[in-house]
Amino acid sequence: MLEIKEVEGARTLRGVTLTVDQKGIYGILGSKGAGKTELARILTGCENAESGDVLIGSEKMSRKNKAAKKRIRLVPTSLELHGTVTPVEYLDLVGDSLGVDPDKRYRQIKEALELVGIDDVQNKPFSALGASARCRLALAASLLGNPEYIVLDDPFSMIDGEAQSQIYELLDMLAKIKTLILLSHKAGEVKRLCERVAILHGGKVALSGSIADIEEKINGTAQTYAKVRGEGDRIVEAIRGIDGVVDAKITATESGSVNSVSIEHLPDDMIKDKLFSALAAIGSPMLSVKSVVLTLEDVFYSFSASESDKDESDTSDTSGKRKNKQKRQRREEK
């Protein structure tokens, strides 16, 4: 079991708490700058947390705890090596640093290269490898020493198309024997690979659980939008009288008494028929109607948008303070 208890980082993390207790792929979804890389480095012992604990079983993670660090491995966002280094040379160096016995090391390197599908380029210089091969090499390195956990810090951003699909299939296979923790800024990627997810927002975990549970939770009520011709007050009153409707309000009125109506209601497959009947009863024709079901992507994008707004506000505040300071300095100079 991997436990993250109220972990705070030096830059962005403000008390992250999570438990990862079974094999598979666990997704941690956050926008750029949300602290994913900082969390990845703390999880794998590359840097220490400001406060809080990371526990792998009973082992407390830290930069000095070699026993804990051997149980978990990091696949970085991008792997950068000297251009002349070959995959075999790099993996031999990694195995040596992990203390893998030389006799076992050769076999592990051979198996890792074959598993990730780059045994045919094992002796090519790093500079000759494409983005997909470099990503696969980082995955191969994470397998040496047989760790229990592999942390993937957004490593697929430079890969797309068929190469990406092949790596996703490889991760699906690895998830049957190991626990993978995928940190990503792509909601679609997390939804494709993971059954469980945590969303980072404001340096903390805003939502966590299975993707199915999260989407069920956010769709406790549904939204339907309609355009209706008629008197606004009568339209709202008629819609609010429908069984299962929580609220209704006019959001805009166009020429010809055409009202845009936002309706919050309990999930109901028959809501469109009920709306038509209620509005027909007061002589207000429904011109269009659309129901919306929220997804994991919708929630994540709303969090990302609020973080962007905050960043712009912070930038504006900083800019304002800077201008005031410059004004004070000019007055003092005079």
Kindly report the CA angle at 163 between 123 and 38, in degrees rounded to 5?
85
pLDDT reported for residue 309: 54
DSSP secondary structure of 166-191: HHHHHHHHHTTTSEEEEEES-HHHHH
Predicted pLDDT of residue 324: 52
- Taking each helix axis from N to C end, the angle separating 211-218 and 296-333, rounded to the nearest 10 degrees, works out to 80
Q: For the chain, what is the radius of gyration of the CA atoms?
A: 27
Residue 327: what pLDDT? 45
Residue 307: predicted pLDDT = 63
Q: In a 3-state reduction of DSSP, which class is residue 51?
A: strand
Architecture of domain 220-292: 2-Layer Sandwich (3.30)
Give the pLDDT of residue 43: 97
- Residues in the chain predicted with pLDDT less than 50, given as ranges, are 315-316, 318-319, 322-323, 325-334
Provide the 8-state DSSP code for 61: P
30 by DSSP, 3-state: which? coil
Q: How far is CA 34 from CA 9, 13, 59, 198, 293, in A?
A: 11, 8, 27, 12, 26
Domain boundaries, the chain: 2-217, 220-292
Domain 2-217, CATH among 2.170.150.70, 3.30.750.24, 3.40.630.10, 3.40.50.300: 3.40.50.300
Sheet holding 24-29, edge to edge: 72-75, 149-153, 179-184, 24-29, 196-201, 204-210
Q: What three-state secondary structure class fits 203?
A: coil
**Equal CATH topology for 2-217 and 220-292:** no
